[in-house]
């Protein structure tokens, strides 16, 4: 427009107006060029954030602008690199944690799941995104946990999901939640074992203590005046004290074996000699019960602690004699096969109910509690046998004989020089 006005003024012989028009035209052209240059420079700056060489291609003005923003670009790039490295490091740390982590948004849908959490929940990480918490855990109790966390800021709950998972939910400032997931199956089992252990020990001690107290009160209230009754009460009190002493000693033995603090005196031993030594120790008890105690000959050698192995085998024989009726038989024998020596005690008793076989070596476990208690057992003998076998690198076995009766065995690695049983 300025150029057209200047041309008209020139044609009209108005030199001043024409000059003014041309000056305006030049001013507009300069302003337009500068605006175009700044637009181009802004585009170059935007591109320069990705490629610094782009500014240098813009000529002198570009180089000036490049020099002006070069330090800023360098700082931005360094900050971005540090942020990326920090983020990568944090992701690596989170993935290396032994606990599962799950982030939920305000809708209670999964935003992110780390590898341990995916493994614990049995899901694929790619499929977990945007999955609801209830669907992710497959337990509706998760909603109750999140409700409590929303009110209190944090909440904890155990969930049954194959095993036992402890889930800690914490509310985030964004309105979402962070869930910490741990497998506490073994911990819960250990707690149950400890509770059962305390309950069993309390029960085993309460019975003889109550008996001793009752007889002591009877003696105080006049039974001492009857010599025969007093003698009988005192004998029973001594029996109960002996029973409690056996229980305490067995508990100490079992605790030491489970803790692995028992020192074994290793030596090469003839398996048959071990069985004969145990048979001699229990011969009187078997005779009183009317049970024949037989040792079958067999040659094999084992390496271990003589006293501890005799203790383990003695518990097998004691158990067999107790459960074999009068006129029955307990047979001790050696079996050697595949580099292992089995020290076996077989009886002709009623056998062990099949459902009890997997548990007979548990502490305080009795297939017939009333009968074992009447026989004076502590319920720890077979558990001690199991741990003595484990300390020797062996194991224990329990089964029923096809012809009737139980078969319990301590299985140990054979020492050098063993031969097949004859």
Catalytic residue among 140, 203, 356, 392: 203
CB atoms within 10 A of CB 219: 17
Q: Which structure tokens are listed for 343?
A: 């020290």
User: Do 247 and 204 contact (CB within 8 A), yes or no?
Assistant: yes
Q: Where are the beta strands (DSSP E) in 37-84?
A: none
Phi, psi dihedrals of residue 134, rounded to the nearest 5°: -65, -40
CB-count burial class (<10 Å; 0-12, 13-18, 19+) for 343: buried
356 labelled catalytic = no
**Exposed, middle or buried, 407 (CB in 10 Å: 0-12/13-18/19+)?**
buried
Closest CA to 254 of 328, 322, 201, 191: 201
| DSSP per-residue letters across 202-263 | HHHHHHHHHHHHHHHHHHHTTGGGSHHHHHHHHHHHHHHHHHHHHHHHHHHHHHHHHHT-PP
CA dist 260 → 66, 79, 264, 374 (Å): 73, 55, 10, 32
- Residue 122 phi, psi dihedral angles, 5° rounding: 70, 40
HEC-encoded secondary structure of 250-264: HHHHHHHHHHCCCCC
Please give the positions annotated as active site. Answer: 203
């Amino acid at each position: 427009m300025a150029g057209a006005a200047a041309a008209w003024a020139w044609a009209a012989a108005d030199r001043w107006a024409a000059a003014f028009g041309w000056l305006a035209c030049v001013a507009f052209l300069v302003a337009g060029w500068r605006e175009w240059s700044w637009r181009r420079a802004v585009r170059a700056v935007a591109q320069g954030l990705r490629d610094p060489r782009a500014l240098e291609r813009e000529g002198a003005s570009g180089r000036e602008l490049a020099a002006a923003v070069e330090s800023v670009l360098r700082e931005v790039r360094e900050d971005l690199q540090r942020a990326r490295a920090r983020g990568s490091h944090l992701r690596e740390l989170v993935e290396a944690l032994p606990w599962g982590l799950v982030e939920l948004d305000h809708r209670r849908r999964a935003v992110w799941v780390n590898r341990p959490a995916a493994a614990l929940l049995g899901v694929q990480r790619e499929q977990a995104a945007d999955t609801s918490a209830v669907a992710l855990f497959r337990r509706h109790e998760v909603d109750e946990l999140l409700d409590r966390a929303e009110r209190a800021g944090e909440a904890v709950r155990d969930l049954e999901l194959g095993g036992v998972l402890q889930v800690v939910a914490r509310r985030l400032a964004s309105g979402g939640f962070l869930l910490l997931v741990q497998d506490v199956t073994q911990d819960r089992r250990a707690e149950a074992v400890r509770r059962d252990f305390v309950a069993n020990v309390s029960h085993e001690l309460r019975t003889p203590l109550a008996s001793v107290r009752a007889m002591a009160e009877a003696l105080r209230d006049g039974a001492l005046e009857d010599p025969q009754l007093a003698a009988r009460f005192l004998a029973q009190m001594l029996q109960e004290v002996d029973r409690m002493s056996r229980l305490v000693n067995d508990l100490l033995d079992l605790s030491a074996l489970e803790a692995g603090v028992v020192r074994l005196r290793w030596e090469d031993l003839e398996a048959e000699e071990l069985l004969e030594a145990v048979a001699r120790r229990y011969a009187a008890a078997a005779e009183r019960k009317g049970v024949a105690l037989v040792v079958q000959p067999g040659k094999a050698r084992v390496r271990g602690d003589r006293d501890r192995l005799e203790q383990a085998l003695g518990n097998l024989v004691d158990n067999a004699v107790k459960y074999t009726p009068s006129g029955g038989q307990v047979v001790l024998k050696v079996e050697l096969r595949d580099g292992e020596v089995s020290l076996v005690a077989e009886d002709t008793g009623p056998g062990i109910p099949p459902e009890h076989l997997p548990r007979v070596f548990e502490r305080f476990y009795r297939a017939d509690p009333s009968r074992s208690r009447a026989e004076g057992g502590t319920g720890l003998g077979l558990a001690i046998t199991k741990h003595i076998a484990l300390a020797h690198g062996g194991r224990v076995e329990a089964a029923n004989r096809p012809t009737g009766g139980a078969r319990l065995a301590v299985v140990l690695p054979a020492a050098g020089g063993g031969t097949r049983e004859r």
